């Protein structure tokens, strides 16, 4: 991928102009202060509808399944310009737009793809039922069980940290199909109807003041046989495909938002604020380095050369960059950074509120595989270090 590619340069100009003409007005922006979660979701869905008219809502999904069909180079340009336009993200549809299509295109039947992909990327909310109270970073130790029942399955268990589950219509669910299996063996991958009898969703209050994380209690919920993805014992392998969806070029958007906002902050610094300018310059240089790492990683992905270790390195780099960059701006803004988000007058990078972005940044080093786990992967796959010996 070359920034001098004339085709990409023309595409970049088109995308930049499109966002200038179509990004939501302040009155329609999902990040507007004072709106509740339901209104936030409705505004994101309206924005998704507009994006889908150009294939930008799900640019990675093939055209035949309703997406934009863009290759990775064009996706990177799209996400860069999306961030530079300060247009809203689509966090409420994370699972719908990324995880669900990736999983079904890899392991689903044609019927499952026809039934679910188009409606998911058109605005149906999906959630993910992977983590459990006793199985987070060590996901393969999950205990939710699925028991055969005629041509279907009956599932019982508990899931946690399921984003937007309170609004979801469907859930990508892992459950143990073989009670005698251990670790990643004997696990099935299911599509669960969130409105089915026996599903109880309980939102979890977070430090940001929001409650998009949820617990899901599953009490003998019946799942039809046609809602099993792949072989009922092959769910652990299929789940790796789902997790790979988090390693696509979507991270470019977040990194570019950090770069853009640091540049804006630096340009507004007065000449006499030498210490402030120096701190921002150092952080901006680091952000440029992380952006370069991202472009190198995604370029290697296009050539099928990138290992999981490289993706883990990038995940650690950009999540910790976001933590440190938001912390720096919180410190520099002083007490004004603690204003109630409902009346805050300055925009944040993702949520629209600087303080919420700072608080929310700490969860990013846990979600998608904790950074501690990522460092283990880096040690083994990048540095070639031996596994630790348990005493």
Which pLDDT tens digits describe the chain residue by residue (391 residues)?
555 588 999 999 999 999 999 999 988 888 877 788 889 899 999 999 999 999 999 999 999 999 999 998 999 999 999 999 989 999 899 999 999 999 999 999 999 999 999 999 999 999 999 999 988 767 788 999 999 999 999 999 999 999 999 999 999 999 999 988 888 889 999 999 999 999 999 999 877 777 788 999 999 999 999 999 999 999 999 998 888 776 667 678 889 989 988 898 888 888 778 888 999 999 999 999 999 999 888 887 776 655 567 888 888 999 999 999 988 988 887 766 666 554 333 344 555 567 778 888 888 888 777 888 889 888 988 888 987 655 5
Q: Give me the pLDDT at residue 137, please.
A: 67
Residue 235 neighbours by CB under 8 Å, 6+ apart: 174, 175, 177, 187, 188, 189, 190, 229
- Walk me through the domains of the chain, giving residue ranges and CATH numbers: 6-89 (no CATH), 125-233 (2.40.110.10), 250-382 (1.20.140.10)
256 as an active site residue: the answer is: no
Q: Which two tokens stand for residue 26?
A: 């302040």
The closest alpha carbon to 332, from 384, 290, 275, 387, belongs to 275
pTM of structure: 0.87
The closest alpha carbon to 83, from 254, 297, 307, 198, belongs to 254
Q: Give me the pLDDT at residue 63, please.
A: 95
Handedness of CA 178, 184, 185, 186 (dihedral sign): positive
What's the number of CA atoms in the CB half-sphere (13 Å) around residue 82?
Answer: 23
Residue 5 neighbours by CB under 8 Å, 6+ apart: 73
Determine which one of 106, 185, 246, 263 is catalytic.
246
Contact 351, 31 (CB under 8 A): yes
The closest alpha carbon to 173, from 125, 216, 138, belongs to 216
Q: Give me the pLDDT at residue 5, please.
A: 84
């Amino acid at each position: 991928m070359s920034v001098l590619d004339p085709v990409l340069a023309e595409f970049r100009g088109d995308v930049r102009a499109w966002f200038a003409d179509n990004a939501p007005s302040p009155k329609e922006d999902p990040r507007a202060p004072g709106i509740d979660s339901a209104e936030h979701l409705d505004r994101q869905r309206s924005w998704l509808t507009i994006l889908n008219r150009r294939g930008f809502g799900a640019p990675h999904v093939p055209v035949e399944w309703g997406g934009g069909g863009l290759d990775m180079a064009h996706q990177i340009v799209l996400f860069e310009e999306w961030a530079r336009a300060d247009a809203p993200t689509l966090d409420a549809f994370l699972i719908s737009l990324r995880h669900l299509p990736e999983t079904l295109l890899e392991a689903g039947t044609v019927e499952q793809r026809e039934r679910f992909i188009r409606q998911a990327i058109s605005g149906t909310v999906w959630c993910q039922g992977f983590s459990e109270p006793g199985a987070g970073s060590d996901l393969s130790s999950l205990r939710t069980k699925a028991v055969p029942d005629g041509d279907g399955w009956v599932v019982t268990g508990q899931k946690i940290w399921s984003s937007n589950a309170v609004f979801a219509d469907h859930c990508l669910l892992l459950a143990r199909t073989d009670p005698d299996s251990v670790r990643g063996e004997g696990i099935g991958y299911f599509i669960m109807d969130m409105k089915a009898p026996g599903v109880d969703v309980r939102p979890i209050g977070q430090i940001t003041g929001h409650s998009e994380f949820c617990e899901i209690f599953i009490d003998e919920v019946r799942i039809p046989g046609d809602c099993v993805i792949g072989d009922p014992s092959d769910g652990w392998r299929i789940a790796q495909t789902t997790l790979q969806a988090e390693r696509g070029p979507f991270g470019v958007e977040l990194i570019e938002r950090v770069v853009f906002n640091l540049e804006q902050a630096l340009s507004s610094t007065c000449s006499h604020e030498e210490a402030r300018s120096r701190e921002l310059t150092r952080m901006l240089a680091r952000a440029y380095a992380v952006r370069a790492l991202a472009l190198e990683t995604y370029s290697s992905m296009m050539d099928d050369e990138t290992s999981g270790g490289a993706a883990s390195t990038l995940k650690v780099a950009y999540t910790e960059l976001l933590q440190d960059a938001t912390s720096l701006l919180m410190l520099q803004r002083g007490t004004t950074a603690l204003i109630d988000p409902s009346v805050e007058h300055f925009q944040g990078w993702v949520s629209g509120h600087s303080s919420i972005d700072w608080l929310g940044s700490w969860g990013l080093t846990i979600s998608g595989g904790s950074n501690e786990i990522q460092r283990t992967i880096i040690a083994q796959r990048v540095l070639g270090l031996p596994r630790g010996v348990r005493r």
